[in-house]
Amino acid sequence: MIRESTLTSSQLPLILCDIGNTSLHFFDGKRAYKESVDSFNEVIPDANVYYINVNPTLEHKLQERSNWINLKPCVNTEKYYEGMGIDRVMACEAVDHGIVIDAGSAITVDMMDHGVYCGGFICPGIRAMQLSYANISSRLNDSFNFELDLDRMPKNTQDSMSYGFLRLLYGEVMRHRKPITITGGDAALLHRLFAGATVDELLIFKGMKQMISRIASC
Amino acid sequence: MIRESTLTSSQLPLILCDIGNTSLHFFDGKRAYKESVDSFNEVIPDANVYYINVNPTLEHKLQERSNWINLKPCVNTEKYYEGMGIDRVMACEAVDHGIVIDAGSAITVDMMDHGVYCGGFICPGIRAMQLSYANISSRLNDSFNFELDLDRMPKNTQDSMSYGFLRLLYGEVMRHRKPITITGGDAALLHRLFAGATVDELLIFKGMKQMISRIASC
Q: What are the DSSP calls for B151-204, one per residue?
A: TS---SHHHHHHIIIIIHHHHHHHTT---EEEESTTHHHHHTTSTTSEE-TTHH
Residue B167 and residue A132: Cβ atoms within 8 Å? no
From chain B, the residues in CB contact with A132 under 8 A are 124, 128-129, 131-132
CA dist A57 to A62, A66, A93, Å?
10, 18, 26
The predicted pLDDT at position B6 comes to 47
Average pLDDT over residues B168-193: 97
Residue A157 and residue B118: Cβ atoms within 8 Å? no
B203-216 vs B86-93: helix crossing angle, rounded to 10: 80
Residue A171 and residue B167: Cβ atoms within 8 Å? no
Q: Are B20 and B55 in contact (CB under 8 A)?
A: yes
CB interface of A with B, residues 15-74, below 8 Å: none
Q: How confident is the model at residue B10 (pLDDT cuts 50, 70, 90)?
A: low
Around B68, how many Cα atoms within 13 Å sit in the side-chain half-sphere?
Answer: 19
Query: Which residues of B does the annotation mark as catalytic?
Result: 87
CB of B100 less than 8 A from some CB of A: no
Beta-carbon contacts of A214 under 8 Å, excluding residues fewer than 6 positions away, are none
* Cα–Cα dist B57/B10, whole Å: 28
Residue A136 and residue B123: Cβ atoms within 8 Å? no
Options 3.40.50.720, 3.40.640.10, 2.60.60.20, 3.30.420.40; CATH for A4-75 is: 3.30.420.40
Parts of chain A with a pLDDT under 70: 1-10, 217-218
SS3 A172: helix
The predicted pLDDT at position A4 comes to 44
Strands lying side by side in the sheet with A32-36 = A32-36, A23-27, A14-19, A48-53, A68-70
DSSP H helices, A83-156, are 86-93, 126-136
CB of A144 less than 8 A from some CB of B: no
Summary mean pLDDT of chain B: 92
* Cα–Cα dist A24/A35, whole Å: 5
- Ranking A32-41, B1-10, B209-218 by mean pLDDT, the lowest is B1-10
Q: Where in chain A is the domain with CATH 3.30.420.40?
A: 4-75, 95-199
Is A200 an active-site residue? no
Distance from CA of A2 to the nearest CA of B (A): 26
Cα B201 from chain centroid? 9
Which CATH superfamily includes the segment(s) A95-199? ATPase, nucleotide binding domain (3.30.420.40)
Q: How confident is the model at residue B25 (pLDDT cuts 50, 70, 90)?
A: very high
CATH no., domain B4-75+206-216: 3.30.420.40
Q: How confident is the model at residue B135 (pLDDT cuts 50, 70, 90)?
A: very high
The total of other beta-carbon atoms located within 10 Å of residue A123's CB is 27
The predicted pLDDT at position B218 comes to 57
According to DSSP, the β-strands at A106-113 and A116-124 are antiparallel
Strands (E) located in chain A: 14-19, 23-27, 32-36, 48-53, 68-70, 98-103, 106-113, 116-124, 180-183, 198-199
The predicted pLDDT at position A41 comes to 83
**Which residues does residue A176 pair with via DSSP β-bridges, in sequence order?**
none
Average pLDDT over residues B65-73: 93
CA dist A65 to A14, A48, A68, B33, B205, Å?
15, 10, 6, 65, 67
Interface mutation vs chain B, best among A160, A177, A193, most B CBs within 10 Å = A160
> Is pLDDT of B80 > 80?
yes
ipTM of the complex: 0.90
Average pLDDT over residues B14-25: 91
Cα A92 from chain centroid? 9
- Ranking A193-197, B45-49, B158-162 by mean pLDDT, the lowest is B45-49
Average pLDDT over residues B36-63: 89
The predicted pLDDT at position A10 comes to 59
- Ranking B58-72, B121-135, B151-165 by mean pLDDT, the lowest is B58-72
Q: Are A18 and A55 in contact (CB under 8 A)?
A: no
Q: How confident is the model at residue B84 (pLDDT cuts 50, 70, 90)?
A: very high
Nearest beta carbon to residue A167 from set B82, B83, B172: B172
Cα B56 from chain centroid? 18
SS3 A183: strand
The predicted pLDDT at position A1 comes to 44
Q: Where in chain B is the domain with CATH 3.30.420.40?
A: 4-75+206-216, 95-199
From chain A, the residues in CB contact with B169 under 8 A are 168
CA dist B107 to A133, A184, B128, B185, Å?
11, 28, 10, 10
| Higher local confidence (pLDDT), B8 or B52 | B52
Beta-carbon contacts of B9 under 8 Å, excluding residues fewer than 6 positions away, are none
What number of residues does chain B have? 218
Q: Are A120 and B160 in contact (CB under 8 A)?
A: yes
